[in-house]
Amino acid sequence: MAKFSRIAIANRGEVAVRIIKACEELGIETVLLHSEADINTRAYRMATKTICIGPAPTAESYLNIKANVDGALAGGAQAIHPGFGFLSENADFAEAVTKAGLTFIGPSAESIRSLGDKVHCKELAKKAGLPLVPGYQGENQDVAHLILEAEKIGFPVIVKAAAGGGGRGMKLIKSSAEAKELIESAQREAQSAFGSPKVFLEKYLDRAKHIEFQVFGDSTGNVIHFFDRECSVQRRHQKIIEEATSPSLSDDLRRRMGEAACAIATLGKYKGAGTVEFLLQDNEFYLLEVNTRLQVEHPVTEEVLGVDLVKMQILTAQGEFVHDPKQVRVPRGHSIECRIYAENPFMGGVPSTGLLGHVEWPEGPGRRYEYGFDAGDTITPYYDPMIAKVIVWDETRSRAIQKMIRVLQDSVVFGVHTNIPYLIEILSHKEFVMGTMTTRFIETYFAEALKEPELTSLDKKIAEGALLQLRGGGMQNQGASNSPWASYWRGI
């Protein structure tokens, strides 16, 4: 296969920037396929060429298969990288890209259909003898039948969208009395988000840890794993903090889970980067799902193993990357990633949009930043509120935690609220420090909004100075209060 000279990016934000950087490393030009709302962004300024594929609503731009394929062809690209989210796990998109004569940088449409559909994936896992959470994955989607199946499993039960992910279409059912309403709600949300109302049921494990393995299928179809990540710190089933490797696995458990991850990926004829997710409780693990794409938290794996997963994805799509059996990869040190969201932690995490007046990520050894916005860019209400990822590496987990807290304290995001104070509280909690947190960690300890700290005289002087500096700069901040402090946040 010929080498790519230009790759189209069907995505936005920090992952688009990440892909552009990998392409630059390989001497490949890029075409950013963007919406009308994403003109003033970092990826827009960095890409070799930009093509607008539609207005802000995702259904009319980032989720529009034809617009993305047509944009890539018009931009002269030979391949499309889908990033994560949007169309990254859409088999129809992968198929349309291939039919248009382009290369889809990711697994085949067949693999996405085989592993990306949660129900089909579990059927495949059964054949491989992998442990599954007790549940119901049948075709009968009648609500009354689903309630009977939930009662057989025993409450609490979790209902999930078969074609879903990221917490969408997922509901926790604690009793028969609320089952009908929650199942119907999950079916409606699944239809709206993924185009299919199909759901399945699983026993809810209330003391589980979320452990995942990074798998990678090379150009020849040989699958290996790049060890594990722990993502137990979740809010509403969405990850907030991730780390590599997990502090919860013994060497034997890590070996067995890694073998299971490779087994299911091999059955799905997997090529490229993917993730096999497990729940771990009482030293027993259960297959949760397979994500057939690059993962948001891939940098922590890159940090402990010294690999470039995006570069490997591109080389694999070109038919060039093959695992070297003589190269033994062993994780070194510990890495943690925090997702920075534009939201107000003192108001329960309500989104915060507006103009970024100033942004400062403090440089230093073992620090890495993935971000899609610079000072002067606008955080809009149209997309996911994640504006950046902060990643640290250090020799031990405890040092990595301390480094992350220092980095967050020194980071400055001026113009919108962020969850930085929330992240510092979580990192400082004794359960996180001990590594004993479960997926109920946030629900148990951080269900309430943070209490806003009182301002010192120095804080007020800083705020007054900042306001004087910004006055006349056209700063906007939707939903902001009248407090001068509410217009920005310094993570201290």
Reading the chain (492 residues) residue by residue, the pLDDT tens digits are 779 999 999 999 999 999 999 999 999 999 999 999 999 899 999 999 999 999 999 989 999 999 999 999 999 999 999 999 899 999 999 999 999 999 999 999 999 999 988 778 888 888 878 889 889 988 899 999 999 999 999 999 999 888 766 667 789 999 999 999 999 999 998 887 777 788 999 999 989 999 999 999 999 989 999 999 999 999 888 899 999 999 999 999 999 999 999 999 999 999 999 999 999 999 999 999 899 999 999 999 999 999 999 999 999 999 999 999 999 899 999 999 999 999 999 998 899 999 999 999 999 999 999 999 999 999 999 998 999 999 999 999 999 999 999 999 999 999 999 999 999 999 999 999 999 999 999 999 998 878 887 777 777 777 777 677 666 554 444 443 333 333 333 332
The span from the CA of 294 to the CA of 272, in Å, is 9
Report pLDDT for 486. Answer: 34
Domains of the chain, each with CATH number or no CATH: 6-105 (3.40.50.20), 135-203 (3.30.1490.20), 209-446 (3.30.470.20)
Buried b (16+ CB within 10 A) or exposed e, 261-278: bbbbbbbbebbbbbbbbb
Is position 399 annotated as part of the catalytic site? no
Q: At what angle do helices 13-25 and 309-317 cross, to 10 degrees?
A: 70
Report pLDDT for 164. Answer: 66
> Three-class SS string for 353-403?
EEECCEEECCCCCCEEEEECCCCCCEECCCCCCEEEEEEEEECCHHHHHHH
Q: List CB contacts of 112: < 8 A, sequence separation 6 or more.
A: 89, 90, 91, 94, 106, 292
DSSP-based three-state secondary structure for 159: strand
Place of tokens 């290996």: 224
| pTM of structure | 0.89
Q: Choose, from 42, 293, 367, 368, the residue flagged as catalytic.
A: 293
86: exposed, middle or buried (Cβ count in 10 Å: 0-12, 13-18, 19+): buried
Place of tokens 């987990």: 397
The span from the CA of 267 to the CA of 221, in Å, is 11
DSSP-based three-state secondary structure for 161: strand
* E strand or H helix that includes residue 114: none
Place of tokens 């990074």: 214
